[in-house]
Amino acid sequence: MRFTAAQIAMMIDATVEGDASASVDSFGKIEEAKDGQLAFLANPKYEEYIYTTNASIVLVNNSLELKQEVPTTLLRVPDAYSAFATLLKKYEEIASLQLVGIQDPSFIAKSAKLGENVFVAAFAYISENVVIGNNVKIYSGVVLGNNVVVGDNSVLHPGVKIYHDCVLGKNVTIHAGTVVGSDGFGFAPLTDGTYKKIPQIGNVIVEDDVEIGANTTIDRATMGSTIIKKGAKLDNLIQIGHNAEVGGDTVIAAQVGVSGSSKIGSNVMIGGQAGITGHISIADGTKINGKSGVSKTIKNQNTAITGNPAEDFMKMKRIEAIYRNLPELEKRVRELEKKLSQ
């Protein structure tokens, strides 16, 4: 589908600067875009390309001051990056509208309930008493266990596995290979040195507007629920332990491990490869630097921590500064000891 600059401006409340009839049917990077494509400029590092781009339409910030004429139509908005993301989302929604119906071969239990405009790709498996909402997209290799609930407008990409009794809210996106509801890591040590498995009879609840990356695993609770709250965003290759809670609008980068029964607050930011030990709480608004090891409860909201074990960010910076000077400090101490001994 093609859209004119005027039509796009109406979608994102933009101001057209140039030919309002210029049209596009795809997207491109500002430095590589071709005629008929839409690009955006948000980072000043790429400003030079606005004067040479072949894109037919470019989204720019209202604050951009041009140094010379440009060969393209501009759409001015308060935040070009955000507006571009909005357009990509609309484009994705339009493309997904074409995916409706049940492909063969796929298995859908007779007791399962499917909403309107659902897409089920070939080789998907939908078990007993599953409830699927409207406009849900289920791709190849997806397995939904007994009693799973999938809310409206959710998308399960290839190979996603949702174990029995787990609940997904509305507008949930889960990327390829992710497993939701596998057993929590529960084993009781016995006197003979062996371990006895503790049955994991809880579930996982993923609330509305959550996105989960590829090959992430979220363990079911021993009892009760492991919960990913509304608006949380999880990257690829993350492990969430049993009975953990991830707060609303929290973002977690790749390769983070969250141990069982930890409670992470809302609007928390966790950098890649950080580790959260079990049975602790992380206050709302906390920022955890990548590779940090968090081993104790963070009580104060909106603090930044780093290191292993993690401490206040500025405190750790001072410690690191001292650490880098240790060789020189050692030399000075030895010189002082030598003088004292004389």
Question: 200-253: per-residue pLDDT in tens?
Answer: 999 999 999 999 999 999 999 999 999 999 999 999 999 999 999 999 999 999
Whole-angstrom distance, CA of residue 33 vs CA of residue 84: 14
Predicted pLDDT at 325? 84
Q: Which two tokens stand for residue 139?
A: 């791709």
Task: Give, in words, the CATH class of 101-316.
Answer: mainly beta
| pLDDT for res 142 | 98
How many Å apart are CA 252 and CA 234, to the nearest integer?
A: 5
Distance between CA atoms of residues 307 and 313, nearest Å: 8
Instruction: Convert the pLDDT of each residue in 76-118 to its tens digit.
Output: 999 999 999 999 988 887 777 778 999 999 999 999 999 999 9
Higher per-residue confidence, 337 vs 270: 270
Task: Collapse the DSSP code of 326 into the 3-class scheme (helix H, G, I; strand E, B; otherwise coil) and give the result.
Answer: helix
Mean pLDDT of 117-136: 97
Q: What pairs with residue 263 in β-bridges?
A: 245, 281
pTM: 0.83
DSSP string, 100-144: -EE-SS-EE-TT-EE-TT-EE-TT-EE-TT-EE-TT-EE-TT-EE
Catalytic residues: 242
Please compute the mean of the pLDDT values over residues 294-301 and round it to a whole number: 96
The separation between CA 125 and the C-alpha centre of its own chain, rounded to angstroms, equals: 26
Q: 187-189 and 195-197 as β-strands: parallel, antiparallel, unpaired?
A: antiparallel
pLDDT at 98: 73
| Domain coordinates in residue numbering, the chain | 3-96, 101-316
Cross-strand pairs, 246: 228, 264
> pLDDT of 321-338, one tens digit each?
887 888 888 888 998 988
Which residue from 119, 51, 247 is spatially nearest to 132, judged by alpha carbons?
Answer: 119
Is residue 130 within 8 Å of residue 144, measured between CB atoms?
yes
Residue that the structure tokens 């390309």 belong to: 49
Q: What pLDDT is stored for residue 264 in this prediction? A: 98
Query: CA quadruple 86, 89, 95, 101: dihedral positive or negative?
Result: negative
Task: Please report the pLDDT score of residue 34 as a whole number.
Answer: 96
Of residues 98 and 198, which shows the higher confidence score?
Answer: 198
pLDDT tops 80 at residue 125: yes
Question: Measuring CA to CA, how many Å separate 237 from each of 254, 258, 270?
Answer: 6, 12, 14
Q: Which residues are CB-contacts of 338 (< 8 A; sequence separation ≥ 6)?
A: none
Give the tens place of pLDDT for each residue, 25-52: 999 999 999 999 999 999 999 999 999 9
Residue type, 287: K
Q: What is the pLDDT of residue 311?
A: 85
147-172 pLDDT per residue, tens: 999 999 999 999 999 999 999 999 99
Q: What does the radius of gyration of the chain's CA atoms come to, in whole angstroms? A: 26
Round to whole Å and give the CA distance between 190 and 204: 28
Predicted local distance difference test score (pLDDT) of residue 313: 80
On average, the pLDDT of the chain sits at 95
DSSP string, 205-251: EE-TT-EE-TT-EEEPPSSSEEEE-TT-EE-SS-EE-TT-EE-TT-E
Residue 283 has pLDDT above 90, yes or no: yes
Domain 3-96 has CATH 3.40.1390.10: yes
